[in-house]
Chains A and B, each alone.
Chain A
Amino acid sequence: MATRRKPKLAVWKFASCDGCQLSLLDCEDELLAVTDQVEIANFAEASRAVVKGPYDLSLVEGSITTPHDAERIHQIRRTSKFLVTIGACATAGGIQALRNFKDVQDFTSLVYATPQYIQTLNKSTPIVDHVRVDFELHGCPVNKNQLIEVLSAFLNGRKPNTPAYTVCVECKRRGTVCVMVARGTPCLGPVTHAGCGAICPSYNRGCYGCYGPMETPNTGSLAAGWVRLGASESDLVRAFRGFNAYAEAFRRESEAHEDQNPQG
């Protein structure tokens, strides 16, 4: 692609922990090479310089949780050629979407002495519920190699190569013995989107689903497998209600088990 000027990259933050945008600064070996190729036009965590839009690529971290942010995301969409969401907050509402299952007013009064000072929406929602999104990169946090792949793909006008299979495939590829079969440890790997490289099973624990559901997960079948290993209904509610609680497949599965166990 022959361009005269460097493409403009913007990084935006909504409700989040900053970890996904930090992944870009954590590319210690690649960072200076990346900035030789793109202009960091708006990235508050890294720079006080702000270059006006439009931007060639916007990376969006975080979920929509305030009336102001619900407006701000539309302005960002209007000034962005491509908009890519990074991480579980931006793609699924994040851990703060646990409020979606409760009354947010109760939450505010638990944390803050003067709840009327706090402006917040009832639900924490992913970016795609508000504007058109060109690509969603999963993970809590995103994998930095995948982030570089997405940057490079969009800047070169091709589709990112980020496999859609499950964590199970990644375990097989790295030669990790199945923790569920061999040790009887409940694992969300069979329904979870690949990308992390199957870290948890290699550390002798079950996957806890931080990359969210893969495209066509059979969560019901996996839940039955968990029950055979001794998991209770409330264990299942908590397992599916984690960092991607509001992703459709995980939300439905957690609600199915909550019905049988009103205490959750």
Chain B
Amino acid sequence: MKTITFRLAYALVLAAAVALAAGCGAVREERTPDGRVVLEWYNYATPEFLTLYREELIPAFERSHPHIKIRLNASLGDTGYDSKLLTLIAGGIAPDVIHVTQANFPLYAAKGLLVDVRTLAKDDVAFDEDDYFKPVLDSMRRGDRLYGLPSDFSTILLFYNKRIFDEAGLPYPDASWTWDTFLQASRKLTVDQDGDRVPDQFAFVTQNAYNRWPAWVWMNGGELFNRDETVCLMDSPSAIQGFSFFVELATKWNVAPAVGQSTGQSPEELFMAEKIAMCANSRYAYKSFAKGMSFPWDVAPMPKGTQRATTLIWGANCILTSTKHPKECWEFLKFLSGREGALGNVRMGNAIPAYKPVALTPGMLKTDVSPANDDEFLRAVSHARTAAFPPQFADYTQALSELDDAFLGVQTPEGVCRRFARRVNVILKEAP
């Protein structure tokens, strides 16, 4: 429902942006009257974050960098965010620094709009790449170029409802769980009380999203691409098997809601309403949980296939190549991702800072909702990554949407994997 409310705002935002960009001779303020450099920071955030940015981080940055002024250009939600930014760029009033996530970063990286920050970091003694969690930083690399700095992230773990496990008399998920343990337990945890063949309680739920399903391919020893990302490997037996296991949780075993069995609630809502025993989710879910949980719960590593793997979701900031002030932008990026930004993120309970010195300080991350195994999120970093996204952005996005046929059960997962690999291998040969 949330994304839809954002879509409502979309039309307005776009219309406003077009009107703004179309205004004859639209110009951006580059310097304040007293000679300070003006940087425009484009992002989207919930009201709490806007407060954090506006009242804490930006004033603190301007105090420590008196020659820079930050102008915050905030968008209402994530739908329409990219269209609005595109319109700003097309209208010649592009911002300097933009906020991205694992979802829209591939677009800007593919379009060559982002500054390779290694050129700025090279001579900077105050910056050390090793201060950042490697898998998160690596998610922002293309070749050996680095297109920004991550600020916050989360690994994906298995959340479980202890009460439902107790009632079923099953042991809680832990590091010993394999896919087999997971499936056996899931079949016991799926309950159809009224006998209408649609379970009233599912064992498991997750999104069929690109930030979730690749983990199941990796867990099975498969890969989406070869090392230099020139060949799609989704038609290899290990990839097909891993993808099929994930899909068939819903379409074959029905321990997860199949398409059409969903009630329209998000995984967080289902978990909070005790309609599901487990969900694969990120630490960002804590935000929804802060209102109070009425049952005991905890987190565990994802069940192990032939190996351990999971996905990452993250937020980051990037510098647009059109900026006239790359050095000042770099200072701001370091501030947002470094100690000050990290502490701000911790205060807001926003997942985990990508900046290790803060994130690894003992007790630093503990929140009011943190369960006993909260540390699993950090432990999972060692085997977490972001699935690669080829520079042929549009074609690859369309190819991904055709995976729906597997989730809908109108084609076998194997057939879908093979078609996907064929299609992507054609795409990879085309110019981006």
A and B: real partners? Answer: no
Question: Interface of B with A (CB < 8 Å)?
Answer: none
